[in-house]
Amino acid sequence: MANGWAPFIGAIVVAIFCAAAWFLAPKGENQTTWRSTLVLSAVSMYIMWLITFLAQLHPLITPYRPGLRPEH
Amino acid sequence: MEKVGVPMRSIYDFNNPFTSPSASEIDELADKSQSLENRIASLNESYETLKRREVELTEWRWVLREAGGFFDRARGQTEEIRHSLDNDDAPLLQDVEHHGEGEAAAAADRSFSVMNIGFVAGVIPRERIAAFERILWRTLRGNLYMNQSEIPEPIINPENNEEVSKNVFIIFAHGKEIIAKIRKISESLGADLYSVDENSELRRDQIREVNTRLSDLASVLRNTKSTLDAELTAIGRNLAAWMVIIKKEKATYETLNKFSYDHQRKTLIAEAWAPTNSLGLIKSTLSDVNDRAGLSVPTIVNQIKTSKTPPTYFKTNRFTLGFQTIIDAYGTIKYREVNPALPAIVTFPFMFAVMFGDFGHGLILLLAAVAMIYFENKLLRSKLDELFGMIFYGRYIVFMMGIFSMYTGLIYCDAFSLELPLFKSMWEWDTNDKGELGPNSHRIDGYTYPFGLDWRWHGTDNDLLFSNSYKMKLSILLGWCHMTFSLMWSLVNARYFKTPIDIWGNFVPGMIFFQSIFGYLSFSIVYKWIIDWNARGQSPPSLLNMLIYMFLQPGTLEPGTAPLYKGQATLQMILLMMALICVPVMLFLKPWYLRREHNKARAMGYRGIGESTRVSALDDDEDEGHANGGRQSFGDDDDGVAMITQDIGHGEEHEEFDFGEVMIHQVIHTIEFCLNCVSHTASYLRLWALSLAHQRLSIVLWDMTMKIGFGFTGFVGSIIMVCIFFGWFMLTVFVLCIMEGTSAMLHSLRLHWVEAMSKHFMGDGVPFEPFSFKTLLEEDPVE
């Protein structure tokens, strides 16, 4: 499902979203605010997700939990 | 008005308090207040006279009553005295005995005049009674008989509404002169004397008369008071509006006083700053006013060319106001400089959310913010206490914080410290020999958890090991992104202000320095992540040691470790060299360039006003002073601002070029920049520390309350559960959301003010202070 290509797919999605935000932002004196807020939000959320994803791409340690109940 | 305590209506009851008053309104107001004042004054006067009459009558009544008591008591004594005086006057005595009680009293009274004893009766304030007695005793050498009693109810002085308790006194003495003396003394001590008749019947008549007059007076008084009250309430209803109108008018005239008068052309001239894009609006408004006033002479608007720096003005709306306030609290943005508030709309709440990441807590914030925004208009009008008022002011900040906290909560996979199993976990528990699960786990091949942290880490023994490593690197990477982003704004500023030396002397070497060390660190972090070290069969090198060796022994790697990639040592060597070369470039290029420009201008014979190099030299000085950022440069800040304001006052905008000063500024800037690269990167680790603290605290809270609560069962258990839930929720809101939220917000604020804004912020602007009725009324509200 999610493999090494995911960051690039995510980047494309975010790029499309940013383009949409840029062109579909409501016209008027608040257009700049709309554009910058939407684009910057999308980018920072993407970066956060990307970092988390990459950190788990090849983890060096595995979860260790003694005393598990059977159904867990 | 205050004396009576009539309440005023709040100004918000009027439909539109912020419109400008018309001229007729003011005249009308003046007439109205004049007539009202007269009416109120006359009413007040008559009320006071009546009140005084009433007080006098009351006092008289008391005197009569008390004096009557004295006479009755004194009667017995007089009889004795009389016995001793005229012993053989038996028929009269018999006569008294024959004619009942009233006659006896009358006879006794009459006997005073027989004995030539006069008396004075009156009322005196209680605190003066001792002095009064002493003076009387001394002047009359004890030749008097004084009786007094307290009036139980306090008498109200009508002039100042004070309560005074008074005593009634009656003094008997011999001889006309002595009586006159007593009268004088008592009047000088502020006593009010009243005539009391010796005859008890006459006295009774007097009392009756006084009583009827009193009751008449009381009814008149009541009428007067009710008219007065009605009048005052009518005024109170409109007073706030009138005060607002007066305040507006006063401010308008104050502004008009600033206009200068042209004697030759007989016109008033106003010079003011105005936003360029509202010039059209200004012109149309002025012509509108002209038309309405029917003036023959039109108002002319001209744009003036000036070398002064205009004040900084950013148009804000309800959404951006809070963010702009955050930035303005640090310093006023230089005119036409990049406004850091625009990116801060996202980065400020986002940095907050990285520290506050919890889906549940974010939801609470978001709901609170949505509620505040929904009831915005109602809350705007009501008076809020200081703390809530502050939160309400930043409601849109809280709104953004809530959204981003929910997002980072999803990334951290935390909701009230519990896991959120949204997707299939990438880990499966091993089964051991006995068929039990755990403690080890293995990874599902080729599958990475798609969104956020894997929830299976929750509650494991090595949870902290993993999440600490992850969050630490997350902080470094986010810090690198944020600082690079901020550094880019200095390029934008330099391009806008057309100072290429700032690009080549500050931005480029700074950027290379930063990227070759911390950009490389970020690259290594990501590179280390995307290499499958298990598949390679290697143990990955420690990045911290790598960085240390990069500085301590350039060209070598940590002994006994495999390189991250081929040619690592050489690349690190090159990067380090690049960083080192950038330092002298940053140090000398700009001062040298400025000096050359200055000398060139001198050589061409430019002197005095309008030297471009001088202006740019000034700009650069300021730039250095402020680009340093941090607390160390606050001193510079003040100087800069002071200088600019002075410039506006005198209209001079150049100073002597001083190479030494420029050099010192540049040295400080270089040292600060290089050291700050290190310290600011480390400073972003607060993102990790605070998010760790927040997560741990919410886990502890959950374990100490709700987890224990789940241990109880049955009916009692459910009641205990409700109580525990209540306690848990309260603690969540107050400790985790409000307290922790405040601390995360302050840290985010610091990251913006210090770490980000020091990279590009000049901040030597002067705030634009437009004349506005609204701010006028907000600053000085009508109570």
* Domain annotation covers residue A15: yes
Number of domains in chain A: 1
Q: What is the pLDDT of residue B621?
A: 43
Q: What pLDDT, on a 0 to 100 scale, did the predictor assign at position B564?
A: 85
**Percent of chain A predicted with pLDDT > 70:** 92
Inform me whether the C-beta atom of residue A11 falls under 8 Å from chain B C-beta atoms.
Answer: no
Short-list B484, B498, B523, CA closest to B756: B484
Residue A29: inside a domain, yes or no? yes
- pLDDT for B110 equals 47
Of the candidates B642, B598, B604, the residue with the CA atom closest to the CA atom of residue B620 = B598
Q: Does A68 touch chain B (CB under 8 A)?
A: yes
B272 membership: H or E segment, kind and range: none
* B70: nearest Cα among B32, B29, B112: B112
Q: Does B446 touch chain A (CB under 8 A)?
A: yes
Instruction: Say which of A30, A49, A66 has its CB closest to residue B461.
Output: A66
Which of A58, A68, A69 should we substitute to test contact with B (largest number of B Cβ atoms within 10 Å)?
A58
A25 alpha-carbon distance from chain centroid = 21
In a domain, A28, yes or no: yes
What are the phi and psi torsion angles at B137 (to 5°)?
A: -60, -45
* pLDDT for the residue numbered B607: 61
| Structure confidence at residue B362 (pLDDT) | 95
CA angle B170, B175, B181 (to 5 degrees): 65
Q: What is the DSSP letter of B312?
A: B
pLDDT given for residue B485 in this prediction: 95
- Residue A70 in this model has a pLDDT that exceeds 80: no
Whole-number pLDDT of residue B328: 87
Q: What angle do CA B326, B327, B330 make, to 5 degrees?
A: 100
Mutant choice from B466, B485, B543 vs A, greatest count of A C-beta within 10 A? B466
Q: How many angstroms separate the first and last alpha carbons of chain A? A: 23
The string of pLDDT tens digits covering residues B307-331 is: 777 777 777 888 888 899 888 888 8
- Which tokens is B651 given? 């209209």
Q: Does B472 lie at the interface with A, CB-CB under 8 angstroms?
A: no
Strand order across the beta sheet in which B166-174 lies: B144-150, B166-174, B117-125, B192-194
Q: Nearest Cβ partner of B460 from A55, A60, A65?
A: A65
Average pLDDT score over chain B:
78
In A, minimum Cα distance to B485 occurs at A40
Q: Which residues contact B443 (CB under 8 A, 6 or more apart)?
A: A59, A62, B426, B427, B428
Of the candidates B760, B762, B498, B769, which has an alpha carbon nearest to the alpha carbon of residue B648?
B769
By C-alpha distance, which of B449, B431, B452, B453 is closest to B440?
Answer: B431
Q: What pLDDT does A14 receive?
A: 95
**Rounded Cα distance, A15 and A19, in Å:** 6
Check residue A40 and give its pLDDT: 94
Per-residue model confidence (pLDDT) at position A34: 92
For residue A50, tell me if it sits in a domain: yes
pLDDT tens digits for B756-772? 988 888 877 788 777 77
Residue with tokens 């050359």: B596
Whether the Cβ atoms of residue B542 and residue B490 lie closer than 8 Å to each other:
no
Chosen from B431, B448, B485, B531 to mutate, greatest number of chain A CBs within 10 A? B448
Residue A64 lies in a domain: no
Rounded mean pLDDT for each run of 10 residues along chain B, 783 residues in total: 44 43 66 80 81 79 75 61 47 41 43 60 77 79 74 70 74 75 78 71 79 85 83 76 76 77 72 76 79 71 73 81 89 84 93 94 95 90 83 92 95 90 88 75 86 89 91 95 94 91 92 94 93 83 87 82 85 93 93 90 69 42 41 40 40 64 92 93 95 94 88 87 92 92 94 90 78 69 55
Q: B753 — phi, psi (to 5°)?
A: -65, -45
A19, part of any domain: yes
Distance between CA atoms of B66 and B146, rounded to whole angstroms?
A: 13
Greater pLDDT, A28 or B301: A28
Query: Which residues, listed in sequence order, are joined to residue B260 by a DSSP beta bridge?
Result: B269
Rounded CA-CA distance B474/B469 in Å is 9
Domain that holds residue A23: 5-55
**pLDDT confidence of residue A29:** 82
Contact B409, B354 (CB under 8 A): no
Contact across the interface for B346 and A44, Cβ inside 8 Å: yes
Interface predicted TM-score of the whole assembly (ipTM), two decimals: 0.94
The answer to whether the bond into B439 is cis (omega within 30° of 0) is yes
In sequence order, what DSSP letters do the residues of B129-144 get, joined into one string?
Answer: HHHHHHHHHHHHTT-E
